[in-house]
Structure 1
Amino acid sequence: MQFSGTDDYVATEDLRIAVNAAIRLERPLLVKGEPGTGKTELARQVARGLDLPMLEWSVKSTTKAQQGLYEYDAVSRLRDSQLGDPRVSDVSNYIRKGKLWEAFEAEGRVVLLIDEIDKADIEFPNDLLQELDRMEFFVYETGETVRARQRPIVIITSNNEKELPDAFLRRCFFHYISFPDQETLARIVDVHFPGIKPRLLNAALTQFFEIRETPGLRKRPSTSEVLDWLKLLLAEDLEAEDLSRDPKTALPRLHGALLKNEQDVQLFERLAFMARGRQ
């Protein structure tokens, strides 16, 4: 089982090596990187490239590890018992399976995405250590042990909002998705917008990287944002010559696709003002 990328996803060599190493080691693949660099999309493309089903567990600040295993609805059972519902005799009627349970009981191998694990409480990763190691867990309400029929390919993403526990990190294969260079980004753009005019692409990416490397920028634009920007440029049927920045503000055309807060917009306005003052 070897992942080599897909027609819709440009996977660099080091990323392909990381995915395949995690599969061979039967370890979760922990993927970090800037928002918008394709961490979540990686799991979807691994599933597509290996022709496997995918399960997605999107983690929020309120998510508990137990929810990935199962949840027992005691309130509904109590209500049904008061109404004389015969279903109360079977406690399994009130157990809702989580994504880990679904992955474990799947007939074949699946890709399980645990997305943005760093959003949850710091104890969340530690609470999953045993289940991810042993590929089994115990259901106290029914007295059964759920074991994985086949070990799923587990891909875990993090935006580095908080540090993950060392015990958890030891059990993962780690990969950091670096921001692509201009050549790799051009390949990514070609996947989404085949046939884009080379001069327009070169001018747009040159300007994009100039903006991205501007000192003092609070939020640097990501891959997903440059794709949005290019989509707008193509929709407006603009040429390379049309990408000149506004001399009064130093802002690029359709800058709302790239700059996502007022502080960064004001930064470019200040830079334009200082440039005019030096003239």
Structure 2
Amino acid sequence: MFSQRLIIFVGLALFIVINFTVMTMSSRESLPTSSIERLFISITSPFQLAVTKTIHFTQNTWNTYFMTVLAVKENIELRKQLGKSIAIKNRYEELELENTRLKKFVNFTGAVPDSYVAAQIVARDPSPWFKTIMIDKGSINGLAKGNPVMVSEGIVGQIIKVAKNYSKVLLITDRNSAVDALVQNSRVRGIVKGNNEDNCSFVYTLRKDVVKEGEMIISSGLDQVFPKGLKIGRIFKVTKVHSQLFQNITLETSVDFDKIEEVLVLKNIR
């Protein structure tokens, strides 16, 4: 009894022989007209059509698979190039912003550039009880305790601790900070005190003095720490109580302490 594989093999062999015979006969100049040949053609034509469609289907499937693989590889490569381009663009924009900030510093220090040291902020105190930052310059750069720290927009604070390569800065918003100041227009004097919030208080201003909202508060220079005329902030609230000797004045600082990244330290005050 023949096995199934043998039957399939004999059938395929017979099909190939018949198919070859028909193609050979069909290649002659005149088409055969005998009944046997017509029978062969009728029997083999459906098989030839099926084989042709199978071959075309296999070719199309392979081409589709091959093109899909190429498209996936190309897509991965394009994504890599796009990522690099985005990174370069972001870096370029960051350099532009840094260049703008440094230009402000150059204009601010143009008169006595050797007296200033530019530094970057490397850490911020996370606790709500202290308002301090750490900068990447220290005693090796000529800095010392008490040096004022500022940006082009105004006063930042003063150095309270110095190491070889780092310094700790007390911000003017800290409750332990005090800056002798005055109202720029009326010259009314007072002290700018921090309150561990985003704003400061302008204290020890007599109730009889005329102080208006929107006026600029600047350093007076009398504390021997900050040079005279540096911006501190604008008054946005004034409250007078008849039973009190001094006014309650709140000001909004000129410096946005959440956004500063670089600062200037004044080494010597003359």
For normalisation by structure 1, the TM-score amounts to 0.20
Q: Which has the higher contact order (CA 8 A, sep 6+)?
A: 1
TM norm structure 2: 0.21
Structure with higher strand content: 2
Report which of the two structures shows the higher radius of gyration computed on alpha carbons: 2
